Amino acid sequence: MTRAPDHELERFLAAYPQVRFFDAFVNDLNTIERGKRIDRAGIGGVFKRGMPLPGSMFALDIEGGTVEATGLGFQDGDADRPCLPIPGTLVPVPWAADVAQVQLRMYEHDGQRFFGDPRAKLEQVLERYRALELTPVVAAEYEFYLVDAERQPDGLPQPPKGPLTRRREFRAQINSMTDLNEYSELLVAIDDACRAQSVPATSALAEYGPGQYEVNLAHAPDALRVCDEALRFKRIVKSVARAHGCEATFLPKPYAATAGSGLHLHVSVLDKDGRNIFAAPTPLESAPLMHAIAGTLASLADGMAICAPGPNSYRRFRSEAYVPLHPTWSINNRGSAVRVPASDPANLRIEHRLAGADANPYLVAAWVLAGIHDGLTRRLQPPPVTTGNAYEQDGEPLPLQWAAAIDRFAASQFASQYLGADFVKLFSIVKRGEMEDFNGHITPLEIARYLGPL
């Protein structure tokens, strides 16, 4: 059981005398924050002894209902486990001056990591790298949409009215500086909040969709910290957007006819002397890079449920939409699942492009790093590099239906090997529960199309 250093809280309390409350939370399988608001007098106890939360926090579906088949509800007595602050995550909340926040991780009472905590899965994978004296360097790119707080009459989202033009934009203008300027005040507020919460956002651009933006987070040789920051970033974006009169969503496909939102992960690996093991004059001359790519491709289909965790996730997978449909790799080609971006020889890296913005970053990072580890240790070789239109390639497609992806993950020996059979069972049961509930609803579309003709 790892505790945050005592001086972290002491220094924070001295620096922020105005803070009265602390939001202390874990992020569940769907990355939703689950926790409590603690007053200033009680936060010391959280740092010393932990805050009790039931293990069912990681058996909740998207609506907050416990999936009883996991065994973590009534069967477990909804038993509490201690949750301790993650070092470095105690930060102010810029949109609420008297509130701060801290991210937690869950343990068993004997000090062991709780098997259902996604952060613990990433820790497990990183231990395999430490055994090889290797350190992954990871960076995250998030895409998201700004949407109007008011829905259309049919309940579907719509772009917000621009703060300057007061128009709703339905056009797509990739890298538009005009669109960046339209929401400059909001984007600056996001950047200010990122700085206040030590989230290293390095750049922002207007993406393909109306009101869609991409923000890059800085790379670091600490995958756990990068994912902690990624979850803070999502909370920042949503909270700042609300403060500016609109909403932000990381739903992969809020609009049927526009681009989806992804979570792209960039990865390189350092040896014990701090050198990038992928470094080479060209990507094809780097044997470790080829092994790593082969490992990620070999595990790609089994991890589809991790990278695309909900029904809307699969709306994103369309031909010629810069979203992968097959386990392919390329050099500087955004149509492939694994891309080697253009860079100098010393900084060669992998960009993993499968995950949607709704995916849990701990689990995505754990899965990607597990694939790389498998490729490196077994010296796997990738298929030929993809060139030209990646959507004209042959080969077995990825499982692009939610049910098929869950079944594939549930049966994956690779998943059990790297994430643990108990976690694979937990995740699969929760997702099947969500799917069964979702499929049990009758939609206006099916009534409109099928009620009369049948």
Q: What is the pLDDT of residues 198-226, one digit of tens each?
A: 999 987 777 777 889 999 999 999 999 99
Q: Cα–Cα distances in Å, from 137 out to 45, 140, 222, 293? A: 34, 11, 7, 15
Alpha helices in 309-443 (DSSP H): 361-378, 402-410, 413-419, 421-439
Convert the pLDDT of each residue in 242-300 to its tens digit.
999 999 999 999 999 899 999 999 999 999 999 999 999 999 999 999 999 999 999 99
Tell me the CATH number of domain 6-114, given options 3.40.1280.10, 3.90.190.20, 3.60.20.10, 3.10.20.70.
Answer: 3.10.20.70
Q: Provide mean pLDDT across the span 174-179.
A: 64
**Residue 296: closest CA among 222, 378, 386, 370:** 370
Q: Give the pLDDT confidence of 33-83 residue by residue, as tens digits.
A: 999 999 999 999 999 999 999 999 999 999 999 999 999 999 999 999 999
- Where, residue-wise, is CATH 3.10.20.70 in the chain? 6-114
For residue range 75-103, list pLDDT tens digits in order: 999 999 999 999 999 999 999 989 999 99
Residues counted in the chain: 454
Task: Give bridge partners of residue 26 from the DSSP assignment.
Answer: 34
Q: What is the pTM of this model?
A: 0.96
From-to residues of CATH 3.30.590.10 in the chain: 126-438
Domain 126-438 has CATH 1.10.3470.10: no
**pLDDT class of 171 with cuts at 50, 70, 90:** low
The structure tokens 């253009």 sit at 342
pLDDT of residue 182: 81
Backbone angles phi, psi at 235, to 5 degrees: -65, -40
Q: Is the pLDDT of residue 176 over 70?
A: no
Distance CA 399, CA 70 (A): 24
